[in-house]
Structure 1
Amino acid sequence: MIKLNRRVLTALLLATASGLAFAQAWPAKPIRMVIPYPPGGPTDILGRIVAQQLEARLGQPVVVDNKPGASGMIGADIVAKAPPDGTTLLVNASIHVINPSLYKKPPHDAIRDFAPVSLIADVPLVLVAAPSQGFNTVQDVIAAAKADPKRLNFASSGNAAAPHLAGEAFKIATGVQMQHVPYKGSGPALADVIGGQTQLMFDSMPSSIGQIRAGKLRAIAVTTAKRASALPDVPTIAESGVPGYDISTWYGVWAPPGTPAEIVDRVSQEIAQIVRQPAVRERLAALGAEPVGNTPQEFAAYTRSELAKWERIVKASGATVD
């Protein structure tokens, strides 16, 4: 049996008590939630849902601060360099772990320079086309691409974003050729897909699901390993003859490095409870988002695995930010 020195034991007990007291006293002032994209996009929408709920649960204002630019890296860098006192949080999308494969000199390390808190939600992408294109299944798309390698093009919200890389991953997995057409955002890209100027798009479900339900777009397949609860009748790409295909966008929360573990754990627990609320789950479902809410340790492992996955896709596709 190991015997602890009385002074060591006392120090450990005091440290534990001090940490608990610190976590219980937190937050003593408003929390700044940095969202590194403009208002109105999916990251902003999900971030504001979390901010509103956190404010009610913590009893302190949670102020959303939109800091767009450089694929989310401007806002993320603000958080990476913020005081680690639990009053600054980052809500970002999966681009956070894609950027390191795209930029030679990013301003921070996406893993080392952040304290992972929790995954908020996982959002499938959906392969869509205008009904007039005549694509009902993934195999229809593959057959058309193989019949004429120069015929098909696919839109995305921008170079090297997840919708672009989802298309590149599809090309790699199926061996087909399709021309990528980048746009400045999902809105103009979807407008051209609906109008028939661009044949296909791998889009984030929050921005396209309304057009799908209105009949202006046909949902051919979702990109995740499991079907999306928001579109239960739409098959996955994997079950449509492309085994192993699994791509999604996701949204999570980080804190500055060195933020006390007690505070990180507290925020993580609050987020897990927030996304389990029926009203929040209903709002997320309307956006096509699958609520998660996990521990800092689980989120850390997930971000590392996602970074490695996107690194492989970027390297194999030759995608660039230029």
Structure 2
Amino acid sequence: MRRRTLLSLGGGLALAAAAKTRAWAQAFPTRNVTLVVPYPAGGATDVIARLIADKLRPKWNQSVVIENRPGAGTVPAAQAVARAEPDGYTLFETTSAHTISASLYKKLSYDPVRDFTAITLTAIIPLVLVTAKSVPASTLAEFTAWAKTQKDVLVVGSTGIGTAQHLTSELFKNRTGVPSQHVPYRGDTPMITDLLAGRAHFAFATLSAVLQHIQSGDLRGIALAHPRRVTAAPNIPTFAEAGMADFEFATWFGTFAPANLPAALRTAIYRDISAIVAEPAMTQRLVEMGADVSNLAPAEFDAFIKGETARWAEAVRISGARID
């Protein structure tokens, strides 16, 4: 009898706690929410974060403040979020760099998986092999054949050491034998400037960053590292279509919170963000950026993160990239 009484009491307390958490989630938020973005204003991550924040404000009847904390491969921003209270008032809009960090950095003050709560994957924007206009090739086969005949080593640009763009270029070099010298830039803008001027010969770029230049003919989109073509660039074939199977890499955009966010609150935030992403106007805006809209639920995002962490770890190993 005593044991049954204790079990009943324990069960009652658990139910009461769960009810309290659900009520708290339903009342959320009661003050401003901060959405941390680990990149400067104006980039794709910032744009997506602001599109979401603009729609969350009337839905939540509270301000959603974008806090841009760029630098050091997203590490300082991620560290700040990991240390924040898991109460939903600090959120994190980040990219594939988050899963790369686990393997790239010898020492991190946080764990990119254990110290965060994955809420939703909004969209995936594939990387595209893009070349300077001066490169005399329009297909993947033509490009690799031409590159191997050059006496001077070709310059391949990236947005920084250890980024998805850099690692993908190293994997491409490993697969094809195309000789190249990696030049890291401080973001998309200086890299694209050198591509347009012909000082860099090729790069793996986020499609949204180079789309207008491909459309204008100032840069040439050779192949898309994605399982299928995208609406924004229907004439660019996938790597598989171009003759290289199993070469799929992208920048993705997802929302996180600190670890131990209550499950009911995690679900509530996901539902609100996913409803915004599912709106036709929002979906269209993302598609125009070259994105595949994902809108993954938390459990699906957890599985995605696990796969991405393992995949990028292998890419880091092959590339030899490492940051102390």
Please say whether Structure 1 and Structure 2 have the same fold, judged by a TM-score greater than 0.5.
Answer: yes
Match of 1:304 in 2: 306
- Select between 241-250 and 17-26 the one with higher mean Cα deviation: 17-26
- Which range moves more in the overlay, 225-234 or 30-39? 225-234
State the SS of the aligned residue for 1:238: helix
Shift of 1:321: 4.2
Q: Alignment RMSD, CA only?
A: 1.7
In the TM superposition, what are the counterparts of 1:50-199 in structure 2 within 5 Å?
50-148=52-150, 150-199=152-201
Using the TM superposition, give the Cα deviation of residue 165 of structure 1 relative to its aligned residue in structure 2, in angstroms.
1.1
1:25 to 24, 27, 30: 27
Q: Which letter maps to 1:109? A: D
1:263-284, Cα deviation, whole Å (9 max, x unpaired): 1111111221111111111211
- Among residues 44, 47, 54, which one is paired with 2:46 in the alignment? 44
Are 1:129 and 1:193, in contact at CA under 8 Å, matched by a contact in 2?
Answer: yes
Tell me what 1:257 maps to: 259
Other-structure match for 2:211 = 209
Give the unaligned 5+ runs of structure 1.
none
Aligned 8 A contact 1:155 1:198 in 2: yes
Normalised TM-score (structure 1): 0.94
Worse-matched range after superposition: 295-304 or 151-160:
151-160
Amino acid at match of 2:283: R
Moved more, 145-154 or 69-78: 145-154
Q: Which runs of 4+ in 1 moved over 4 A?
A: 3-6
Whole-angstrom CA distance in 1 between matches of 2:8 and 2:101: 50
Contact 2:136 2:143 (C-alpha < 8 Å) held by counterparts:
no
Displacement after TM superposition at 1:8 (Å): 4.5
Alpha carbons of 1:26 and 1:149: their partners in 2 closer, same or farther (altered >3 Å)? farther
Name which of 248, 269, 279 aligns with 1:277. Answer: 279
Q: Distance in 1 between matches of 2:315 and 2:191?
A: 22
Q: What count of residue pairs does the alignment treat as equivalent?
A: 320
- Unaligned runs of 5+ residues in structure 2 are none
Q: 1:249 to 1:180 in 2, by over 3 A?
A: same
Q: Tell me the amino acid that sits aligned with residue 73 of structure 2.
A: S
Q: Is the 8 A contact 1:268 1:293 kept in 2?
A: no
- In the other structure, the counterpart of 1:13 is 15
Aligned partners of 1:272 and 1:292 also within 8 Å = no
- The answer to whether the Cα contact below 8 Å between 1:118 and 1:252 also exists between their aligned partners in 2 is yes
Post-superposition CA distance 1:209-254 (Å, at most 9, x none): 1111122111111111221221122101122111111100101111
In structure 2, the partner of 1:239 is 241
Amino acid at match of 2:54: Q
For 1:173, the aligned partner's letter is: R
1:35·1:91 contact (CA, 8 Å) conserved in 2? yes
Q: 2:315 aligned with 1:313, yes or no?
A: yes
Which piece of structure 1 moves more, 229-238 or 80-89? Answer: 229-238
Secondary structure of 2:108's aligned partner: coil
What is the alpha-carbon distance in structure 1 between the residues aligned to residue 113 and residue 322 of structure 2?
21
CA distance in 2, matches of 1:115, 1:82: 12
Q: 1: distance between equivalents of 2:141 and 2:9?
A: 70
In structure 2, C-alpha distance between the alignment counterparts of 1:134 and 1:24, rounded to whole Å: 59
The CA deviation string for residues 105-128 of structure 1, in whole angstroms up to 9 with x for no partner, is 112100011111111110111111
Does residue 225 of the first structure (1) align with residue 227 of the second (2)? Answer: yes
Offset of residue 6 of structure 1: 4.2
Distance, in Å, in 1 between the alignment partners of 2:254 and 2:199 is 34
Normalising by structure 2, what TM-score?
0.94
